[in-house]
Amino acid sequence: MIPQEIIRRKRDGETLAADEIAAFIRAMSEDRISEGQVAAFAMAVFFRGMSRDETIALTLAMRDSGDVLSWGDIARPIADKHSTGGVGDNVSLMLAPIVAACGLAVPMISGRGLGHTGGTLDKLEAIPGYSIMPEETLFRRTVDEVGCAIIGQTADLAPADRRLYAIRDVTATVESVPLITASILSKKLAAGLQTLVMDVKVGNGAFMNSLADAEILARSLVDVANGAGVKTSALITDMNQPLADAAGNALEIVNCVDFLRGDKAGTRLETVVLAFAAEMLVQSGTAGSLSDGEQAARSALESGRAADVFGRMVHALGGPSDFLERSQDYLPAAPVQFAVPAVRDGYLARYDTRALGMAVVELGGGRRRAADAIDHRVGLNGLMPLGTEIAKGEPIAFVHAANEKDAVRIVADVAQFFTIEDDAPAQASPVLKRIG
């Protein structure tokens, strides 16, 4: 394998064979090709694209660059879900215990925050003692005995993705559908899944702003994952407003606990969580239809079985045994909380959702650089859904900050991220389309 020949052929729009792609990724993993050559390959793919078969080959090569987990000793279906990221998107925290309570096994490999979007791992680290990087024995035991475990990517899972992504990040080649697809799926396939559901976000708080672009990515993910042997579907969901009524790490854990206690019934968040639960249960053969799957998920939620699974998962991975009962005692709280007043009477008509996510980063709840520490206390809550009627001066959000100076500054900023109009906006389901 001559790296520059593979780069040249892809640069010229030729189709690469699976063994060529595998050899290139293997050489990259073993540091036998330079960063310049990897960057040139990424740029060639960025401009020339890849066929479905090429993207499958790339995904499998990256998956096979490290360990591939096997769950043959667990009788339950092995399932997972992945989101492309948004603001107030804490679906995974509730979804995993709900479907685990319905009989699935969920070894969920999650990530940290990226840009304006929150990260599941950052949220879970707000829980004292919770280990996002447990030993494999503990990870397996938790999945087997509890039904789910949400952890981070180990160094042995898809290591080729880490090198390729780091180079893409500094060479303006992140926004390539084949490279995004292979990056996401290589890690998921390395987790040994049988079924997978993708949550592809679209809107002003998502990485995909248009429905057409979201459909292209969703179709690529579904086609490639199924081609690689994992039964996969995708739901395209709306991210033109925060999904939960909170954005920030500890605040979203509070939201999760409230949800599992039944305090978020009737919300957009509940609609999305139950839609994904139904999809996972049907894919795995546990439910015969989406309506049956949603009914089973709702039963697990309303009976308290899902909350029990979440509490046992937290404890199994090092957190407090009574976390569900005393979560407010364990979670860190910001010392300063200021209301954001509405500037006029009317209806909440639009959010600048990405700006709200960046406000959390400004407060210290996200990272400007990979090495930055996170302040788990800070963020926003009390966020109202679009269409809410409000009066001038009424709180439309609350800023949780480390100090008064930050709070005053962010309150002034956040007030500009809401648009209030005389007429209520049209309401639509947050689940926009299914790709299967």
The domains located in the chain, with CATH, are 3-63 (1.20.970.10), 79-156+169-316 (3.40.1030.10), 333-421 (3.90.1170.30)
- 404, with CB counted inside 10 A (0-12, 13-18, 19+), is exposed
Tens-place pLDDT, residues 75-90? 999 999 999 888 999 9
Least confident interval from 46-60, 239-253, 368-382, 422-436: 368-382
SS3 content of the chain, % helix, strand, coil (to 5): 45, 15, 40
pLDDT at 371 over 70: no
User: What pLDDT is attached to residue 114?
Assistant: 60
User: What pLDDT is attached to residue 337?
Assistant: 97
Catalytic (active site) residue 10:
no
**How many CA atoms lie within 13 Å of 111's alpha carbon, on the beta-carbon side?**
19
Longest Cα–Cα distance in the chain: 68
User: What pLDDT is attached to residue 98?
Assistant: 98
Which residues touch 75 (CB under 8 Å, ≥6 apart)? Answer: none
Span between the terminal Cα atoms of the chain, in Å = 37
Catalytic (active site) residue 327:
no
Catalytic (active site) residue 183:
yes
Q: Which of 168, 298, 312, 376 is catalytic?
A: 168
Average pLDDT score, the chain: 94
User: What pLDDT is attached to residue 154?
Assistant: 77
Question: With bands split at pLDDT 50, 70 and 90, how would you rate the model's confidence at 36?
Answer: very high
Question: With bands split at pLDDT 50, 70 and 90, how would you rate the model's confidence at 113?
Answer: low
pLDDT at 117 over 90: no
Catalytic (active site) residue 409:
no
User: What pLDDT is attached to residue 17?
Assistant: 97
Q: Which of 59, 83, 131, 284 is catalytic?
A: 83
Contact 280, 231 (CB under 8 A): no
Q: Which amino acid is at 151?
A: I
Tens-place pLDDT, residues 228-281? 999 999 999 999 999 999 999 999 999 999 999 999 999 999 999 999 999 999
Question: With bands split at pLDDT 50, 70 and 90, how would you rate the model's confidence at 157?
Answer: confident
Neighbours of 7 (CB within 10 A): 22
pLDDT at 109 over 90: no
Instruction: State how far the Cα of 41 lies from the Cα of 55, in Å rounded to an integer.
Output: 14
Nearest to 125 by CA among 86, 152, 96: 152
pLDDT at 115 over 90: no
Catalytic (active site) residue 80:
yes
Of 13 and 113, which is predicted with more confidence?
Answer: 13
Catalytic (active site) residue 82:
yes
* Pairing status of strand 231-238 against strand 106-110: unpaired
Percent of the chain with pLDDT over 70: 98
Neighbours of 165 (CB within 10 A): 18
pLDDT at 33 over 70: yes
What average pLDDT does range 322-341 have in this prediction? 96
Catalytic (active site) residue 83:
yes
* Paired tokens of 217: 């990515």
Question: With bands split at pLDDT 50, 70 and 90, how would you rate the model's confidence at 370?
Answer: low
Q: Which of 29, 59, 176, 183 is catalytic?
A: 183
Q: Which of 65, 84, 120, 284 is catalytic?
A: 120
Question: With bands split at pLDDT 50, 70 and 90, how would you rate the model's confidence at 227?
Answer: very high
Quick check: pTM over 0.75? yes
Q: Which of 55, 63, 64, 80 is catalytic?
A: 80
Q: Which of 187, 201, 231, 312 is catalytic?
A: 187
User: What pLDDT is attached to residue 305?
Assistant: 98
Q: Which of 76, 81, 305, 354 is catalytic?
A: 81
DSSP-derived secondary structure for 393-420: TSEEEEEEESSHHHHHHHHHHHGGGEEE
Least confident interval from 77-81, 89-93, 121-125, 173-177: 173-177
